[in-house]
A and B are shown apart, each in its own frame.
Chain A
Amino acid sequence: MIAMFACMVLLLVGLYAVVIKRNIIRIIIGFSLVEYAVNLFFALVGFKHNGIPPIITDVAQSRSNFVDPVPQALVLTAIVIGLATTALMLALAMRIYEKYRTFDVTEIRRLKG
């Protein structure tokens, strides 16, 4: 239970970076932290005490001790999608820097148009 609580604290730390920080790169780091927290939460939900990874090595082996494979299947694609959206945000940040020469959100808002 403490592990799930720590996961939520990580999500709140990332959300703090998104809402309050003013540098665009820090906002992107905050988004990344939120995605990591969500993936970790899924993996924590599927854990089983004294479980073994869900891979069949022998046809006659007992499969009653596997950890839950469904959350792992959901997280597997989510990790790669997180990388793709982070790269998209970084491309936008680079274009913004090229036009305004600063990463500060308040100054960009002032110089707009």
Chain B
Amino acid sequence: MSLIVQVIARLLAGMLFLFGTYVVLHGHLTPGGGFAGGVLIAAAFILMSLAFGSVEQTERNSYTLSSVVESLGGVLFVSLALAGYLAGVFFFQNASVYGTGTPLKLISGGIILPANIAIGIKVGAGLFAMFLALGASRFVMKD
């Protein structure tokens, strides 16, 4: 890609990633949450891989890394749900280390904050892996 696109992409990808993390972390206070923030994080990675060089070059390492990170996000979400067992109550009960906390602050909402982080990781890595599979596999030739 040309130089202008590369310079702008470097700035924008950093801001997109920061904004996506903000939306994920404040999911219980402002609109947004894990899904919107996860898709924004995936968009930041896609922008970097589109602007810098061919998509085929980033294929092999990023492929396995993103699918592993996505599975880790899923495992984190299920283990948070199993944390209800450790606290002695039902599966998926809202039982976290700090309880419900003070409302309208960042540390509040029980298990909602870690669950948002897990969903953000899962959705972001999964969508980036899907984009790499669609855009970088070495099969289809143009006619």
- Residues of A at under 8 Å CB distance from B? 53, 55-57, 59, 76-77, 79-80, 83-84, 87, 90-91, 94, 97-98, 101
Are B33 and A94 in contact, CB atoms less than 8 angstroms apart? no
Q: Given the complex of chains A and B, what is the CA–CA distance between A79 and B143 in angstroms? A: 34
Are B35 and A76 in contact, CB atoms less than 8 angstroms apart? yes
B60-84 interface with A by 8 A CB criterion: none
Given A59-B103, A59-B104: A53 touches B31 (CB 8 Å cut-off): yes
Q: How far is the CB of B75 from chain A (nearest CB, A)?
A: 19
Per CB-CB distance, the 3 closest pairs between chain A and chain B, nearest first, are A87-B130, A98-B140, A80-B35
Given A87-B130, A87-B134: A80 touches B33 (CB 8 Å cut-off): no
List A contacts of B104 (CB < 8 A).
56-57, 59
Q: Which of B103, B130, B133, B140 contacts A97 (CB 8 A)?
A: B140
Chain A contact surface mostly:
helix
Given A53-B31, A59-B103: A83 touches B140 (CB 8 Å cut-off): no
A80 closest partner in B (C-beta): B35
- Residues of B at under 8 Å CB distance from A? 30-31, 33, 35, 39, 103-104, 123, 126-127, 130, 133-134, 139-140, 143
Given A53-B31, A91-B134: A80 touches B39 (CB 8 Å cut-off): yes
Instruction: A76-B35, A77-B35, A80-B35 are known; give 5 further A-B pairs, CB within 8 A.
Output: A55-B30, A79-B35, A83-B127, A87-B134, A101-B143
Are B35 and A94 in contact, CB atoms less than 8 angstroms apart? no
Q: Which of A53, A79, A90 contacts B134 (CB 8 A)?
A: A90
